């Protein structure tokens, strides 16, 4: 898959958006469920949002599920490298990922943890119906560049590259 557009998310934006997700989840906790028993972070993209949300919700029990779906921008068949054994069927657990795209990973997680609450920071239209809570919707043809995928580097001034 080659993206039509790119959207760069920096560390501060990711922190703000993850905290906004924590606020939404607090509303969920207060309205119906009570506190979550623990958090399952979908690795690798869900690790940092899960850490922020675990802090904000004061949740100390964090489990992981490792699913490989992408190699760079190429999508393959999902492979579960590490199941979330501590979470059982997901009852009372919160699952966190950075993004739901086509829903491939979300479907695998739903099969593993059918009773969990699935939340993502960002959601694309194809995957959005599979999550219970998200913060920001982006178009399906947008590739999000997360801070762990990019780095700042020197760019020469325009005057040096304008063909003088």
The residues that are catalytic are: 97-98, 101
- Placement of tokens 């982006």 in the chain: 138
What does the radius of gyration of the chain's CA atoms come to, in whole angstroms? Answer: 17
Q: Are 114 and 90 in contact (CB under 8 A)?
A: yes
Provide the pairing of β-strand 117-123 with 133-137. Answer: parallel
In degrees and rounded to multiples of 5, residue 46 shows phi and psi of: -85, -5
How buried is residue 95: exposed, middle or buried, by Cβ count under 10 Å (0-12/13-18/19+)?
buried
How buried is residue 7: exposed, middle or buried, by Cβ count under 10 Å (0-12/13-18/19+)?
middle
């Amino acid at each position: 898959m080659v993206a039509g557009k790119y959207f760069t998310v920096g560390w501060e934006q990711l922190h703000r958006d993850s905290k906004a997700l924590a606020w939404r989840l607090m509303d969920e906790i207060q309205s119906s469920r009570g506190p979550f028993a623990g958090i399952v972070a979908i690795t690798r993209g869900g690790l940092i949002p899960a850490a922020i949300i675990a802090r904000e919700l004061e949740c100390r029990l964090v489990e992981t599920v490792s699913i490989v779906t992408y190699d760079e921008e190429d999508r393959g068949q999902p492979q579960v490298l590490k199941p979330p054994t501590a979470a059982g069927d997901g009852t009372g657990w919160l699952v966190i990922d950075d993004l739901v795209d086509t829903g491939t990973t979300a479907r695998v997680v739903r099969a593993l943890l059918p009773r969990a609450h699935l939340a993502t920071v960002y959601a694309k239209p194809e995957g959005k119906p599979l999550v219970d809570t998200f913060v920001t919707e982006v178009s399906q043809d947008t590739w999000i560049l997360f801070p762990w995928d990019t780095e700042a580097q020197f760019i020469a001034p325009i005057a040096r590259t304008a063909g003088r």
